[in-house]
Structure 1
Amino acid sequence: MKSIDYAVKLAKMGFHIFPLLSDRKTPPKGMHFKESATRSVTALVGWFDNTDANIGIFTEKFGDDKALIVVDVDVKDGKNGEQTLLKLELEGFELPETLAQRTANGGRHLIFASDAPVRPGANVLGKGLDIRSGGSYIVGAGSVIGSGAYTIDDTPIADAPDWLIERCRAVKEKSTVEASIVEGVDHDRAATRVIKYLETEAPLSIEGQGGDETAYRVAARCKDLGINESGCAQLMYDHWNERCSPPWAYVALLVKVRNAYEYGHEPQGIAAPEAEFKPVPTPPGAPQLKDPIEALNDRYAFVLAGGGAQVLWETTDANGKYKLDHLSLGAFHADFANKKMVVGKKEQSISQLWLESKGRRSYAGIVFMPGQQAPDRFYNLWKGFQYEPAERYTNHPAVEQFIEHARDNVCRGDVVLFKWLIGYFAHLVQRPWEKPLVALVFRGGKGVGKNALVERVGTLLGGHFLLTSNRRYLIGNFNGHLENCLLFTLDEAFWSGDKQAEGIIKDLITGREHIIEHKGEKPYSVDNRTRVCIIGNEEWLVPATHDERRFAVFDVGDGRKQDREYFQSMREGMEKDGYPHLLRYLMDFDLTGIDINLAPVTNALLDQKNESLDPLHQWWLDCLEEERIVGSEFGGWPEDIECERFRAAFKRYVKDRNVRSRVPEDRAIGRLIKQCAPGITKSRARRGDELPYVYHVPRVEISRTDWEKFIGHKVRWEQ
């Protein structure tokens, strides 16, 4: 369909239409879309006939006397509107099925009808859920942005639910209410007041007797007494909920508390005694002093993990890079042993006061949810990207060098391979919460730039990137460095049949969880979101089986070998102002048609498979290459051979090469050879007076074809 066809179709559905620039989301210069939007076919023909203009839908009007409320589900730039939508549904705020558009970048427009427009805004319903309504517009179906197109389904338009309209109307007042908090309210005193109220005065919530309204009113009163939202939920759960009939589930109670804090009109702390006295103003130039508990909350958090307790310390290393330290309670107290406070007439340790304070920052567990919002009760190890993305990508010189090196040297000009590799990196920043089951492997000589791509992408991740050449970070007993690692890179790696390391590597690539163990602390588990990269110049880098699916192996070319100026220019350009552009380039990269869980078939992967072959399969490959049974007295390819002579040839082969490990016993040889040579059959044959078992061997051409099926690659056989 052409633009005019889409425009007319949308107008007949009741939408008020106006033109947008081709491949853009903006109206033409001078176009006043609020006044110009129409359902007139004559006007639409004038705008869209024989043009490739995009289509705008004015959301303030719909039909003759209605308006639109559009929920814009955003899934780019680190947002996950679909996740927020699911969270709303779990909290009881469900949207009815309605007409929907799929946007060019994979998002959605959920379109509802309303008697009147509401105020539009970003993140109105949560991160990634914007509202388009009064005075705004959306891009309509039939429009094209880059390589993506807007499409629409045929579901009837539903009326906007009441809760959605109320939420949107509350946006205007919300910021005023949230910002309105009585100054000087002491958190610990507020907690004491709230506990007394909950235990002695608060009405109980009883099902069938206005229990919902009671819970809301109790939460609102707690807010008035000065406690913050998270403290209110916890105190209501601990000191009030159990006596309700029936008790509230914690998640349901959170919803009631959140509503009281979002939609209550009085500021937090209005009923606190402190509200009657204005704080003494701080003299100009005097330092802004924080409450000691709040000051410690800025850097420390108490957390339960693995059945034990510890303190998290959010700090920086010597280079100013963010890092998270796990402190035992003993170490935490030791650090603050020389810092005391006088409480009443008694001197107490600040660390002990903080631990005993109801206002301390506390979590019930540790999670790693990159790019996602963790439940409030859990500490999320994800701290975001090191840089903010550029507003748009503009062919930055350092990023262009990155692209050139990836395409021409790492992928050796293979455009399909290049698209897969960049897609792998793009997936890392677009969907960090989705773990791929494939690891990257870069093999090449010294100075060819094996590290260049990974180090540039890793810098975007800040503390979520680890590059190391020390094997203890792979096989050591303590693995806390993996708990928040998105990209783990082993530099100058080599493989020498280390079975311990093999199991760890493969679990790191495909395992669902990390069992994290810090020295002196109880182990606990977090989700494994780690991508693995292996870099080296050895022939055998990874343990690749014949049917390997875990490794994407690249042989880096010599096109920029020892070109220090080139790689220095790329690095310095990135450090100057290139990293935001690299992040934008990867965020905007189209992942359509790219399966990052399907490793590309490369000659470099075949090399790793050959290096990883067990002795019997290596011997058979040598037989196929030399067109004879290596180790036997035959000079050519046999039609049949006695099983005993077949086994003897293999044993002579491994003995001549001093192979001692992984050599199969006689009874296993027949089973193993059938894996790679299924055409071989076994029967008895007359040999003089004897009837020995013999192997009937297909022609070498057939045997080679069977081998290629076994190894998963076409092989260049020497003629």
Structure 2
Amino acid sequence: MAVVPNYDASIEFLQKWRAKGPWILTAIEPDRKGIATETLKDEAEVRTFLEEHGDTRNIYFSVNPTRWPINKKASREDIASLDWLHVDVDPRNGKELKDERERALRLLTNPPKGIPKPTCVVFSGGGYQGFWRLEDAMEIEGKPDAYALAARYNKQIERLYEADHCHNVDRIMRLPGTINRPDEKKRKKGRKPTLADVIFFDEESYPLSTFTPAPEVDSPSGGFTGRGGVSISGNIKRLSSIDDLPDDLPDWVKVLIVQGFDPENPGKFESRSECLFAVLCAMARCPTEIDDDTMFSVITDPDFHISESVLEKKGNAEKYAIRQISRAKEVAIDPALVEFNDRYAVIQGIGGKCRIVEEVFDPGLERFKLQKIGFDDFRNAWMNRKIQIGEDKNGNPVMVPLGKWWLEHPKRRQYRAMAFEPGIERDDVYNLWRGFAVEAKPGEKHESFLTHIKQNLCDNDPEVYDYLIGWLARLVQFPAKLGEAAVILQGDQGTGKSFFAKTIGTLVGRHFLHISNSSHLTGNFNAHLRDCVFLFADEAFFAGDKRHESVLKTLITERHLVIEAKGVDAEPARNCVHLVMASNEEWVVPAGFGDRRFFVLNVSDAQRGNPGYFRSIQADLDDGGYESLLAFLLAYDLSDFEVRNVPKTKGHDQQKKYTMPVEKEWWFQKLVEGFLAPAGSGPSWPREIPKEDLYSEFVDYATARRMPRITSKTAFAKVLSDFWPGKVEIKQYRKPVEVRLPGGRLEQRSSAYWYVDIPPLEDFRKKFEEVSNMTIDWEKESKDGREETSDPGF
């Protein structure tokens, strides 16, 4: 029985999709040789379009609205806003079609963890498509940063469903009520024309914050990334048959595409990636030009076995495919070009100079770094290799040094500038951002690590735990932002401080830097900080060193760092450092009374010396825990999180005590002792005291501590007044004194003595807590102080 379209259902669907239109419909012939696109304003125009094209063509609608009416297939630059998220779950190759369709529908009606139920599910006639309506559209308006971010939201859904490559914002999808007309390749597999239909269409809308953008995933090795002149459109069309490729593409290439290896010589290629590259090089050299979209389609089409080495890269597949196409096109020019473009790039502006850069692995820092090379040094390094550029009039080869040839080649890899820009891709900027080291996949294997954080780092304090998780989530969701607060871990060895930091560092990959030598931060050259997102300073700072204090302030609070590399001028760069410090010492950071930069945690020693405890957590992390931890942090709601609202902790108060300057320390000890008067002079906390006695006591204290400089009376009075409850009241008393006059006669006179009114001890203690922003157990402090008999202040 012939399948007939249902255009009433098509119109009803479009009116639900975008009630007042307009609607952009595209009609494509099954062989893809004929395409028509129109922007339609009302029901009558829609019906006319459907009746004109629906009998012979496949009909699609634009998921998102365009900035203006169009009569061609939209590009991402045409899209006005992201109104819907989408996913396309098609049957997998080699499986029963009926079973695969049931699997796809189950996935969409029972979404993976972290994904809500779709607003709408459509049976496309092949597989199933899911759509999520957004409460508020995300503006795009042709902005590259915006459409790249929008695509990442779709890409994360695509990854979780292990669905087809279709995350672009200019996506067109099958219109329900029309007929899915299979191409020749699908007809040969038994596919028949099938009516596309709506499975359900609810009223549910979701805030964009419900979803997580896909993190960019780093490639496992160094080298340059980017499109390298490759242009891939938003909607990749699959070939209906291998015969769609040009006739002058050799048959052996088509065999490799279909089979994924050479059946006549199975050992010809050492790996699938080598076979892939041979195919791409042949396509790049084909006399009939094969465009980038077709090359990309071939090597990502699961129907062709040549795609296997690409698709196994999963989240990194698109970037990998584009780079391989770029390399093949370079090889078509000359193999030496791809060799050098893989290894080197020219940056026009680095510290005011044009330099060649190379990514090299630094075994000391255990990460890749950029090596900068001058043009003369580069030419000298490669003068021992020559390349032929032609022949002279006698037919003799004309040879030039390879380094000179590459520098003068118009296709050498070159960028206008270098920057660290997470989530942004610009063709003329060498971006130091490489993405995360793992893919985000919801799961439960990270929960034992979170329990470790809660119990051993946060002492089961919910406010402290929530802040730390928020700090980590902000790091992965906004890696380009300044850290603004540092996490300080103080505790004994073996308690899990480094375990915590290295676990987070594993997510960040090459943008994690672990240092234990302060010279890596205070030395003259600091280029390694340019692309650092997560810095773990392990016993690398001394709180009493003013130079270290200055570096700390810059790393935590300054928007820009001055980056200085060897051989080039210093230049400012964005500061993206999120700092974690760990130390076994009691005094870790210089924390003043008004400090809000340090989030200090006293790490519990409950699991110290318990390797089995940490092995168990590590096993969970290795079994998908890293991926689920990244997914958890990416999905964490930060709407109520403010990084500068650092919770008060006992550890922070402790650091404040160690940081007090001597005059504040003296006064604090007096409040702890509850004893102000000199020995034998009266009550321990008198109602008044001679003004000079206060300063004398302080001088004795500072002298006993061998302070190199004693605070002046004026400065001392200013400090003390800050801690005084209410106004400082000074009284004058006069007492008789005998004065010997010239000639030896004694005369009775009076002399003035200045006394200070002393408020009650409890008032002083409350004022100290208020000024210092500390919570102090005075009774415990007094008891602890009496036990420290060797301390001159007690």
Return the TM-score normalized by structure 1: 0.63
Question: Does structure 2 retain, via aligned residues, the 8 Å contact 1:70–1:132?
Answer: no
Query: 1:365 Cα shift?
Result: 1.7
- What is the CA-CA distance between 1:612 and the residue it aligns to? 0.5
Partner of 1:348: 400
Q: Once the two structures are aligned, what percentage of the paired residues are identical?
A: 26
Q: Deviations over 1:501-534 (max 9, x none)?
A: 1011111111111211112222222200010111
Could you say what secondary structure the match of 2:642 adopts?
coil
Residues in 1 aligned to 2:398 and 2:359: alpha-carbon distance in whole angstroms: 30
Write the deviation string for residues 68-125 of structure 1: whole angstroms up to 9, x where unpaired: x9997899xxxxx96xx557248999xxxxxxxxx99999xxxxxxxxxxxx984424
**Pair 1:375 & 2:417 matched:** no
1:314-344 superposed Cα distances (whole Å, 9 cap, x missing partner)? 3445699761322221443344233222323
Cα 1:301/1:671, change in 2 over 3 Å: same
Partner of 2:716: 669
Structure 2 alignment gaps of length 5 or more: 1-11, 20-86, 90-98, 106-115, 124-129, 148-152, 158-163, 177-197, 213-232, 250-287, 293-324, 391-396, 736-749, 783-794
Shift of 1:696: 2.6
Query: Distance between the aligned counterparts of 2:440 and 2:156, measured in 1?
Result: 19
Q: For the structure 1 residues 678 and 366, does the alpha-carbon distance in structure 2 shift closer, same or farther, using more than 3 Å as the test?
A: farther
Of residues 509, 533, 539, the one that matches 1:486 is: 533
Structure with the greater alpha carbon radius of gyration: 2
Q: What is the SS of the residue equivalent to 2:670?
A: helix
Give the structure 1 partner of residue 338 of structure 2.
294
| Cα displacement (A) at 1:619 | 0.7
Q: Report if aligned partners of 2:480, 2:576 keep a CA contact under 8 Å in 1.
A: yes
- The one-letter code matched in structure 2 to 1:640 is E
How far did residue 346 of structure 1 move? Answer: 4.0
**Secondary structure, counterpart of 2:142 in structure 1:** helix
Distance 1:92 1:480, change over 3 A: closer
Q: Counterpart of 2:698?
A: 650
Give the equivalent residue in structure 1 for 2:32: none
Q: CA deviation at 1:385?
A: 0.8
Structure 1: give runs of 5+ residues left out of the alignment.
Answer: 1-9, 18-24, 36-53, 62-68, 76-80, 94-102, 108-119, 151-168, 185-224, 230-267, 269-274, 280-286
Aligned equivalent of 1:428, options 449, 468, 475: 475
Go from structure 1 to structure 2 and tell me whether the alpha carbon gap of 1:644 and 1:536 turns closer, same or farther (over 3 Å shift). same
Distance 1:324 1:132 in 2: 43
Query: Counterpart amino acid of 1:340?
Result: K
Q: Which residue of 2 aligns with 1:386?
A: 437
CA distance in 2, matches of 1:576, 1:59: 33
Matching residue within 535, 541, 554 for 2:588: 541
1:640 corresponds, among 688, 695, 702, to: 688
What's the CA shift for 1:174? 11
1:338 to 384, 390, 393: 384
Alpha-carbon offset, residue 300 of structure 1: 1.4
* The one of 361, 367, 388 aligned to 2:413: 361
Instruction: State the one-letter code of the partner of 1:549.
Output: R
Greater CA deviation, 139-148 or 458-467? 139-148
Measure the CA separation in 2 of the matches of 1:436 and 1:467. 16
- Please state if 1:456 is matched with 2:503: yes
1:323 aligns with 2:382: no
For residues 288 and 309 of structure 1, do their structure 2 counterparts lie closer, same or farther at Cα, with a shift above 3 Å needed? closer
In structure 1, C-alpha distance between the alignment counterparts of 2:450 and 2:203, rounded to whole Å: 33
Number of aligned residues: 530
Contact 1:610–1:618 (Cα < 8 Å) also in 2: yes
User: Structure 1 pair 612/106, CA: closer, same or farther in 2 (3 Å)?
Assistant: farther
Contact 2:534 2:578 in 1 (8 A): yes
2-structure distance, mates of 1:459, 1:700: 52
**Aligned match of 1:609:** 656
Structure-1 separation of matches of 2:657 and 2:122: 65
Which whole-Å CA distance do the structure 1 matches of 2:477 and 2:646 have between them? 19
Q: Cα distance 1:656–1:521, how it changes in 2: closer, same or farther (>3 A)? A: same
Query: Are residues 137 and 492 of structure 1, via their aligned partners in 2, closer, same or farther at CA, if it must alter by over 3 Å?
Result: farther
User: Quick check: 650-659 or 686-695, which moved more?
Assistant: 686-695
Q: CA deviation at 1:574?
A: 2.9
Cα distance change on mapping 1:459 and 1:557 into 2, 3 Å? same
Q: Deviations over 1:428-471 (max 9, x none)?
A: 11221222300000000121111111110101111111111111
Q: How far did residue 677 of structure 1 move?
A: 2.6
Asked if the contact 1:469–1:492 (Cα under 8 Å) also holds between the matched residues in 2, the reply is: yes
**SS at 1:427's partner residue?**
helix
Task: Kindly indicate whether the alpha-carbon contact (under 8 Å) linking 2:119 and 2:203 is maintained by their aligned counterparts in 1.
Answer: no
SS of residue matched to 1:685: strand
Residue matched to 1:50: none
Seen in structure 2, the aligned counterparts of structure 1 residues 385 and 693 have a Cα distance that, compared at 3 Å, is same
Does structure 1 conserve the Cα–Cα contact (< 8 Å) formed by 2:134 and 2:206? no
Of 750, 768, 787, the residue aligned with 1:707 is 768
Distance of 1:290 and 1:651 partners within structure 2: 80
